[in-house]
């Protein structure tokens, strides 16, 4: 019976999109009379049909009666409320999503904020704009243009490399997220097996400004050769021009370790049975210093369930080794965050809106 209902709901959902009539009440009676337990996806389909039929208030009640916690269930109700100009109820749903930690997607923000701007709901527009700011995402071009339209006197500018705005002389900042760093560090700590070796490692984490991923840098441009080229590590260390460089290498790379130690470099040796990448990441995160590596750490982000936070931190703290005109060069991270901050709004093409002297659109 459940399979049959799934097919009926899918059929009705498709027919309503095409404008065909739908006897939703008959479906709901069949479900109730036969005491059919629906999956959450089926319940979302019912909400979509209700909203298509203009029964958004009923959809809202059905949502709460069934305790559905999916963005796909909220969005059709929000759009339906927008269409009928029930803006207070849109804000109420927005509050519920925040409380349930359910995040809107960027295209959802664009749709909602477009309708709010068209209806001159500037206060509500600004509420959603502030919500988007907190996501730490960069607005794509459509959303960015919409925000520009919101503020008549705003100017489109190019921010200098040091973060200076030529319009208002504001210096943009690197947005730090200490809580995220703590969460990632705590996750890494749980993955360590030998606690004594780990404690010894942690005791050495003092006064370092740069952590070098020795294996990653030593194998850069090696054309498949797995041997560590310690000269590349030395090159990187000299380019950094700091006495606070710590090189992390697994004990398997014994030859490179001996040569680096002989030359007076600080080397943290990772013992067998441990992943040197975790040691490297932890040291840089714990000290909140820069990491020198080309590793994107995607697998580590996923395995620690901290992908977004880790990628955010790497964007602002990772120095990469690259080849420019047949020469090795270090590419340093930006000095400021490409996110909404201090009345400045970026887009994905590198342009910014300066809203320092913003005026609401007429």
* Domain 178-331 sits in CATH 3.40.50.2020: no
- At residue 22, the pLDDT reads 59
Tell me if 103 sits within 8 A of 66, measured CB to CB: no
pTM higher than 0.85, yes or no?
no
User: Domain 2-157 is classified in which CATH homologous superfamily?
Assistant: Tetratricopeptide repeat domain (1.25.40.10)
Q: What is the spatial distance between Cα 89 and Cα 219, in angstroms, rounded to a whole number?
A: 57
- At residue 9, the pLDDT reads 56
Domain ranges of the chain: 2-157, 178-331
The domains spanning 2-157 and 178-331 adopt the same CATH topology: no
Q: How far is CA 144 from CA 91, 251, 337, 358, in A?
A: 22, 50, 16, 15
Tell me if 260 sits within 8 A of 268, measured CB to CB: no
- At residue 180, the pLDDT reads 83
| Mean pLDDT per 10-residue segment, the chain (362 residues) | 51 53 73 80 89 92 93 96 96 96 96 97 97 94 95 90 94 87 85 76 88 94 84 94 90 94 93 87 91 84 71 92 92 93 92 77 44
- At residue 116, the pLDDT reads 98
Pick from 174, 172, 256: nearest CA to 214: 256
């Amino acid at each position: 019976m459940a399979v049959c209902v799934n097919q009926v709901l899918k059929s009705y959902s498709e027919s309503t999109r095409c404008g065909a009539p739908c006897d939703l009440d008959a479906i709901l009676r069949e479900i109730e009379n036969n005491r059919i337990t629906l999956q959450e996806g089926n319940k979302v389909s019912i909400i979509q049909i209700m909203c298509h039929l203009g029964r958004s208030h009923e959809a809202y009640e059905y949502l709460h009666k069934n305790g559905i916690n999916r963005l796909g269930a909220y969005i059709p109700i929000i759009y339906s409320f927008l269409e009928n100009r029930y803006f207070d109820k849109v804000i109420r749903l927005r509050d519920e999503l925040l409380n349930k930690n359910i995040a809107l997607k960027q295209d959802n923000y664009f749709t909602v904020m477009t309708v709010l701007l068209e209806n001159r709901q500037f206060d509500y527009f600004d509420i959603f704009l502030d919500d988007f700011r907190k996501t730490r995402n960069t607005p794509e071009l459509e959303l960015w243009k919409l925000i520009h339209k919101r503020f008549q006197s705003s100017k489109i500018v190019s921010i200098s490399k040091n973060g200076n705005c030529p319009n208002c002389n504001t210096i943009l900042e690197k947005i730090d997220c200490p809580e995220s760093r703590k969460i990632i560090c705590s996750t890494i700590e749980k993955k360590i097996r030998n606690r004594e070796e780990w404690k010894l490692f942690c005791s050495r984490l003092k006064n370092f400004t740069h952590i070098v991923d020795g294996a990653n840098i030593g194998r850069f441009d090696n054309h498949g050769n797995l041997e560590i080229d310690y000269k590349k590590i030395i090159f990187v260390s000299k380019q950094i021009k700091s006495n606070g460089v710590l090189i992390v290498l697994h004990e398997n790379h014994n030859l490179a370790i001996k040569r680096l130690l002989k030359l007076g470099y600080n080397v943290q040796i990772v013992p067998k049975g441990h992943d040197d990448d975790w040691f490297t990441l932890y040291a840089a995160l714990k000290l909140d210093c820069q990491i020198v590596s080309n590793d994107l750490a995607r697998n580590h982000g996923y395995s620690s369930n901290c992908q977004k936070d880790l990628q955010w931190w790497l964007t602002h703290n990772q120095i990469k080794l690259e080849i420019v005109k047949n020469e090795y060069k270090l590419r340093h991270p930006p000095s400021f965050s490409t996110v909404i901050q201090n009345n400045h709004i970026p887009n994905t093409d590198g342009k910014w809106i300066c809203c320092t002297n913003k005026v609401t659109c007429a």
